[in-house]
Amino acid sequence: MLNDYITGSVLQRLTETLDGGIILRKGYFPTINHSWRANLDQAIQLSVRWPLEVCKEILTQHTFPSEQGPRISQAPIFHEPTNFTFVTFLIRLAINKVKFHFTELTYTEKWQTGLVKARPADLVSEYSYVIDEETALWLGARGNNRYFADGFALKGEGRLLLVFEDYNYRTRKAVISSSWYTERDSSFTEPAPILEEPWHLSYPLLFRADGQTWCLPESLNHGSIELYRLDQATGKLHHHRTLLKDVSAADPTLVFHQNHWYLFFTPANATNIELHIWHADTLEGIFEPHELNPVKADVSNSRPAGPFFTLDGKLYRPAQDCSHTYGGRVVINEVKLLTDTEFLEMQVTSLRPPVGYTGLHTISFAGDYLYFDCKKPVFSPASSVWQLKRRLRLVKPNQTRE
pLDDT in tens, 262-282: 999 999 999 999 999 999 999
285-322 pLDDT, tens per residue?
999 999 889 999 999 999 999 999 999 999 999 999 99
Can you give the pLDDT at residue 400? 41
User: In this structure, are residues 219 and 227 in contact, taking their beta carbons and an 8 Å threshold?
Assistant: no
User: In this structure, are residues 70 and 43 in contact, taking their beta carbons and an 8 Å threshold?
Assistant: no
User: In this structure, are residues 201 and 222 in contact, taking their beta carbons and an 8 Å threshold?
Assistant: no
The sign of the torsion formed by the CA atoms of 103, 109, 202, 256 equals: negative
Can you give the pLDDT at residue 15? 82
Q: How far apart are CA 249 and CA 369, in angstroms?
A: 28
Can you give the pLDDT at residue 401? 43
Q: Which positions ≥6 away from 78 have C-beta within 8 Å?
A: none
Block means of pLDDT (10 residues each) for the chain, 402 residues, are: 91 81 89 95 93 86 65 78 95 96 94 95 86 92 94 93 96 96 93 97 96 97 97 95 96 97 96 96 96 93 97 97 94 96 94 93 96 95 92 70 42
Q: Is 356 left (phi over 0), alpha (psi -120 to 50) or beta?
A: left
Name beta bridge partners: 115.
Answer: 137, 371
- The neighbour count for residue 317, using CB atoms within 10 Å, is 23
Q: How far apart are CA 64 and CA 53, in angstroms?
A: 12
Looking at domain 116-381, does it have CATH number 2.115.10.20?
Answer: yes
User: In this structure, are residues 70 and 20 in contact, taking their beta carbons and an 8 Å threshold?
Assistant: yes
User: In this structure, are residues 305 and 330 in contact, taking their beta carbons and an 8 Å threshold?
Assistant: yes
Q: How far apart are CA 253 and CA 206, in angstroms?
A: 9
Can you give the pLDDT at residue 70? 62
User: In this structure, are residues 316 and 310 in contact, taking their beta carbons and an 8 Å threshold?
Assistant: yes
Can you give the pLDDT at residue 74? 75
- Closest to 245 (Cα-Cα) out of 226, 266, 267, 265: 226
DSSP H helices, 154-244, are none
67 CB-contact burial (10 Å; exposed 0-12 / middle 13-18 / buried 19+): exposed
Can you give the pLDDT at residue 22? 85
Exposure b/e, 269-281, CB count within 10 A at least 16 = b: ebbbbbbbbbbbe
Can you give the pLDDT at residue 69? 59
Specify the pTM.
0.91
Domains in the chain: boundaries: 6-103, 116-381
Exposure b/e, 376-396, CB count within 10 A at least 16 = b: beeebebbbebbeebeeeeee
Q: How far apart are CA 242 and CA 287, in angstroms?
A: 11
Can you give the pLDDT at residue 127? 78
- Closest to 10 (Cα-Cα) out of 26, 31, 28: 26
User: In this structure, are residues 333 and 124 in contact, taking their beta carbons and an 8 Å threshold?
Assistant: no
